[in-house]
Amino acid sequence: MTDPTRIPVRRAAEDTPELWPVRRREVLARGRLFDYFSDTVEMPSGDTMRRDFIDHTSAVAVIALDDDEHMVVVHQYRHPVGFRLIEPPAGLLDQDGEGWLRAAQRELAEEAGLAADDWRLLVDMMTTPGGVNESIRIYLARDLRAAGAPDGFEPEGEEAHMDVLRVPVDDLLTGILSGRLQSPSLVAGVLAYAAARDKLDRLRPADSPWPARGQVERMRAAAPETPAD
């Protein structure tokens, strides 16, 4: 049995980029939005292992708060899980050359018809690191005001059938802790905001570097793609 007092203590812990050599990368499938790869990876021992994963474009989300600490959310159908989830406005980083903050501002306008004058970086997270290389950057947006949708935007698919709501932050916290709210961007964003609510001046600037994005690009270039047999 492990004595918990003998486990090393580390302060200021952090994730560290590391990329084990990829000896072979097979393309298992090409999708409309994402691709499915299988990598043969060399471990530090010299042995190899095979890991399948989805190559994802990554995303941004917005915790948008009004002056009364109501959060603007969308109620959106998610087919893979068979739920209509309460989520923050969010979207994929699938437009070439678009910066992360600009993408978040666009999504807030498209999904909620809003702009914000105060933007801060709330939290970064990797949604499913065991099988998907998606990372998501979650912003805090305040000083909200009305804004028109970007030129040419027309809602389609799930977006054409979602509702936009305002919910008190404390009600969202209760819903998360009771298991009624399960969207990962909502859970991470609301809990991060609750933790930072009394010290918002310590949040990172909205244009802060995003190391995970660079590491994903390095991983994409780690090995040539080989079609599956």
CATH number of the domain residue 195 falls in: 3.90.79.10
Same domain, 113 and 25: no
Please report which confidence band the pLDDT of residue 229 belongs to, taking 50, 70 and 90 as the band edges. Answer: low
Q: Does 222 map to a domain?
A: no
Q: What's the Cα-to-Cα distance from 80 to each of 38, 46, 90, 188, rounded to whole Å?
A: 22, 37, 17, 20
- 55, 82, 103 — which closes off a domain? 55
Same domain, 121 and 203: yes
159 in active site: yes
Name the one residue in this structure whose structure tokens are 């047999």: 229
Same domain, 39 and 117: no
Q: Does 88 map to a domain?
A: yes
* Set 134, 156, 159, 225: catalytic member: 159
What region does 112 belong to: left with phi over 0, alpha with psi -120 to 50, or beta? Answer: alpha
Report the pLDDT value the prediction gives residue 85, as an integer from 0 to 100: 98
Higher-confidence residue: 162 or 222?
162
Q: Does 80 map to a domain?
A: yes
Residue range 205-216, pLDDT digits in tens: 999 999 988 898
Same domain, 118 and 191: yes
* Domain count along the chain: 2
Residue range 170-187, pLDDT digits in tens: 999 999 999 999 999 999
- 55, 71, 102 — which closes off a domain? 55
Report the pLDDT value the prediction gives residue 220, as an integer from 0 to 100: 86
Q: Does 71 map to a domain?
A: yes
Domain that holds residue 75: 59-210
Name the one residue in this structure whose structure tokens are 């590491």: 215
Same domain, 74 and 42: no
Same domain, 30 and 93: no
pTM for this one?
0.93
Q: Does 78 map to a domain?
A: yes
Buried b (16+ CB within 10 A) or exposed e, 66-101: eeeebbbbbebeeeeeeeebbbbbbbbbeeeeeebb
Same domain, 44 and 82: no
Same domain, 132 and 193: yes
Q: How many CA within 13 A on the CB side of residue 161?
A: 8
Q: What's the Cα-to-Cα distance from 63 to each of 19, 128, 154, rounded to whole Å?
A: 32, 21, 23
Report the pLDDT value the prediction gives residue 156, as an integer from 0 to 100: 81
